Chains A and B, each alone.
Chain A
Amino acid sequence: MASMFSSSKFSDSLTVVGVSLCSAVICEAISWILIYRTSSYKSLRSSIDKASRKLESMKTTTDSLKLTTKKSKTKKMDRVETSLKESSRDLFFFKFKSGAVVAIVLIVVFGLLNSLFEGKPVAKLPFTPIWIVKSMSHRGLQGSDLTDCSMAFLYFLCSISIRTNLQKFLGFAPPRGAANPGLFPMPDQKTS
């Protein structure tokens, strides 16, 4: 079976998958060293988990309360929500700084693969891609056969699927309660 795959016209796709898998492992190792093992990350993560659980339980009990108790409960919920947003923002910026190193590794790996497979289809698509996908799936390829798959698209699929599941498996996935505040977070209307 192995010889069947290696003699296939598109055996280069296995090289792309293999390189993507190795780079995902290296990136997670770098992230662990720079981010996940630090006490700052652990405390931020813990505070986000606690705040989101507290907010959930407060939301479910608020509906059945009297009006005066409801008002004070709503104020408490706003405070917890603000604290959750602040912790999420701190976590975002903390990961952002260290993520620059991971980004450099990914750019280098992509550049290496691009130099190896530029202009060469590495796989065949079993469907005709729509216009959004076409620009990536047919990137740098000659000819009009849109089912030829470039390294960029295959690498993109590998990156998303392998890295997401690897992070999930290792327990490095972002906490569910954390909202992504973006680079320019708006001030909280309720506390101003």
Chain B
Amino acid sequence: KSSMKESKSSFKQQQNNDQVSPFTYSKLFDPEADWDKDQLGDVLHWIRQLVGLFCGLFCGAVPLVGGIWVLGFLAISSGIIYGYYSLILKVDEEDFGGHGALLQEGLFASLTLFLLCWILGYSLAHF
């Protein structure tokens, strides 16, 4: 069973390297779409940035106070990314370097963007 999965994975990777369709917005919710590492990585990066932007503005507006919300943001954004590529896109993470590689796409930039929006929103709206 594992050798069958490996050969399927290697065939799919070969296919990915040779003939991946160019990016279109319809691919974002298509579990049958072909992805290459760069395309998927870029999509996950921008999703993380949007989550960081909205979470930061929301936390600043309410306001939510306390360092625990940094951990909350990391958990929520990672959960959204994981849910997106495993449940919606249904990609095999082994083809793209494993869960670690996919979950770290845009992580640090989104964390700094979240902190920036949170601090700005809190400072400007409540003082």
Q: Which residues of A contact B (CB under 8 A)?
A: 4-5, 8-11, 13-14, 17, 53, 56-57, 60-61, 63-64, 123-130, 149, 154, 157-158, 160-161, 164-165, 168, 176
A129 closest partner in B (C-beta): B67
Question: Shortest distance in angstroms between B102's beta carbon and chain A's nearest beta carbon?
Answer: 12
Q: Which of A53, A60, A154, A160 contacts B119 (CB 8 A)?
A: A154
Interface digits, B41-75 against A, CB 8 Å rule (1 contact, 0 not)?
11001100100000000011001111101100000
**Cβ–Cβ contact B6 & A63, under 8 A:** yes
Question: Shortest distance in angstroms between B115's beta carbon and chain A's nearest beta carbon?
Answer: 5
In the bound assembly, the distance between CA atoms of A158 and B113 in angstroms comes to: 8
Q: Which of A5, A57, A160 contacts B17 (CB 8 A)?
A: A57
Contacts of A8 in B (CB 8 A): 123-125, 127
**Cβ–Cβ contact B14 & A60, under 8 A:** yes
In the bound assembly, the distance between CA atoms of A161 and B65 in angstroms comes to: 21
Main secondary structure of the interface of B (DSSP, over half): helix
**Cβ–Cβ contact A149 & B113, under 8 A:** no
Question: Shortest distance in angstroms between B2's beta carbon and chain A's nearest beta carbon?
Answer: 10
Q: Which of A154, A164, A176 contacts B41 (CB 8 A)?
A: A176
Question: Shortest distance in angstroms between A2's beta carbon and chain B's nearest beta carbon?
Answer: 11
Residues in B1-32 with C-beta less than 8 Å from chain A: 3, 6-7, 9-10, 13-14, 17
Q: Which residues of B contact A (CB under 8 A)?
A: 3, 6-7, 9-10, 13-14, 17, 37-38, 41-42, 45-46, 49, 59-60, 63-67, 69-70, 108-109, 112-113, 115-116, 118-120, 122-127
**Cβ–Cβ contact A56 & B37, under 8 A:** yes
Known: A57-B13, A60-B10, A63-B6. 14 other contacts (CB 8 A): A5-B124, A8-B123, A17-B120, A56-B13, A60-B13, A123-B119, A124-B127, A126-B59, A126-B63, A126-B119, A130-B67, A154-B116, A157-B115, A176-B37
Contacts of B115 in A (CB 8 A): 157
Q: Which of B7, B113, B122 contacts A64 (CB 8 A)?
A: B7
For this complex, 25 residue pairs linking A to B, each with C-beta atoms less than 8 Å apart, are A5-B124, A13-B120, A13-B124, A56-B37, A60-B9, A63-B10, A64-B10, A123-B119, A123-B120, A123-B122, A123-B123, A124-B127, A125-B119, A126-B59, A126-B119, A127-B65, A130-B67, A149-B119, A157-B115, A157-B119, A158-B116, A161-B109, A161-B113, A165-B109, A176-B37
